[in-house]
Structure 1
Amino acid sequence: MDTQKSTKAIDPGEKIQSAALGLFIRKGIAGTTTKDIAKKAGVSEGSIYNYFESKGDLAYKLFARYMDGFRGELLEKASSVTGPAERLSAAVRAFFGFAEKEPDAYAYIMIGHYTELRKMPYDKKKPRDIFVDIIGEGVREGVFMGIDENLGTAFVIGMITRAILFHTSGMLDIPYARLIEETTASSLRVLGYSGGGLPDHD
């Protein structure tokens, strides 16, 4: 009787995606070749085409995969509370949480945002849509005052991404928890939050 434990082989498609992720972050999508990806993944260059039509197809599918995960994280946290201010605060904290928990995925989303986002179907829900919906709800209910929901979303996401960039690059030397709280408070202020203090959170 064979008592040796069997080991589950890593799917070549996953190896290719993992290798591509690291290379796209380090070298950029345009600066990465399929030969680079194959070498890092430990597969033949031709085998990439068993899973993806092209490097562009791989770049897009990887981007869409992480965008879906990111959006799911934001939606889960924002849906766990009620009220526009509370939901906005939860979404901001979830944004920071994803960047901290999944730094490579977050980095690739930021890189791919310039080239891959426009390839996504127009009607496919994206992370920004969660903020647009929350801010629009807040404006209609009088919780946020006199701001277009798309402009408000641009302000809020801009603050979050700049804060994360400054923190990860060492230009902002404050604890991450404080960064989250101050950015959350600033997001509510820029939207004209009428409720006073920062909403409670778990």
Structure 2
Amino acid sequence: MKTAPRAAARPRRGRTGDTRARIEAAAVALFARKGVDGTSVRDIAEQVGVSEGALYRHFPSKEELARELFLTRYAALAGEICAVEAGQGSREAKIAAVVGLACRLFDAEPALFAYLLIHQHAHLAHVPDEAEANVVEAVARLLRGAGVPAERLGLASALALGCVVQPAVFALYGRIDGPLAAQADAIAAAVTGIVERARGR
């Protein structure tokens, strides 16, 4: 069985302009592998190849870095879900597009996915209620647009999210082989089934 995602190789020193991005990338990898509490500012600085003082010039504390990483990445995913929901296409096509989006995110950045999943409870109280910045609300908006009635929206959203998250967790720890995108059609079919049942069909 695979362990949690390993940190990427230490990035080479680059221009000052990309230091913040390199700090963020290193922090995501370390936080996913070691947890926020298990990662020190020195760990992040060494991974990036900068001094601790240089890191503090970009982020006032490790906790602020962890919070900003979560909120910005979580909001970016929510925004993409909302963009799919607002676009053209059938209910089934939109569900498939959102599932595909989540699978591609996992395949491209498993450490980011692990960080968002594992550390969500430390930050969710700071997530805005607006769907454009809140994945749960973005999914609820998608399902509402698919015809799920208000009284069934909470459970349907939870089930739909579970259909995506649990396979990703299994893939993260080696219980599902290959890219998660290979399972996207099956996952989308499961979510569509949840929607149809919630609509009373």
Which TM-score tier does this pair reach, normalised by the shorter chain? 0.7 to 0.9
CA RMSD of aligned residues (A): 2.7
**Change in CA separation of 1:27 and 1:188 when aligned onto 2, cut-off 3 Å:** same
**Change in CA separation of 1:181 and 1:126 when aligned onto 2, cut-off 3 Å:** same
Letter of the 2:141 counterpart:
D
What is the 5 A alignment of 1:159-198? 159-173=163-177, 176-192=180-196
Letter of the 2:63 counterpart:
G
One of 9, 19, 24 as aligned partner of 1:12: 19
Letter of the 2:74 counterpart:
M
Contact 1:132 1:153 in 2 (8 A): yes
Letter of the 1:164 counterpart:
A
- 1:156 corresponds to which residue? 160
**Change in CA separation of 1:80 and 1:29 when aligned onto 2, cut-off 3 Å:** same
Report sequence identity in percent.
25
1:61 aligns with 2:65: no
One of 146, 149, 153 as aligned partner of 1:138: 146
Letter of the 1:108 counterpart:
Y
Query: CA shift at 1:191, angstroms?
Result: 2.2
What is the 5 A alignment of 1:53-92? 53-92=60-99
What is the 5 A alignment of 1:29-68? 29-68=36-75
Query: CA shift at 1:12, angstroms?
Result: 2.6
Letter of the 2:27 counterpart:
A
Bigger radius of gyration:
1
SS at match of 2:37: coil
Query: CA shift at 1:158, angstroms?
Result: 0.7
Contact 2:127 2:134 in 1 (8 A): no
How far apart are the structure 1 equivalents of 2:125 and 2:150? 29
Query: CA shift at 1:147, angstroms?
Result: 6.0
- 1:119 corresponds to which residue? 126
Q: Gaps (5+ residues) in structure 1?
A: 1-6, 197-202
How far apart are the structure 1 equivalents of 2:53 and 2:26? 15
Letter of the 1:134 counterpart:
L
Task: Report which structure shows greater RCO (CA 8 Å, sep ≥6).
Answer: 2
Q: What is the aligned length?
A: 185
Q: TM-score, normalised by structure 2?
A: 0.78
How far apart are the structure 2 equivalents of 1:119 and 1:167? 28
How far apart are the structure 1 equivalents of 2:59 and 2:76? 20
Greater share of helix: 2
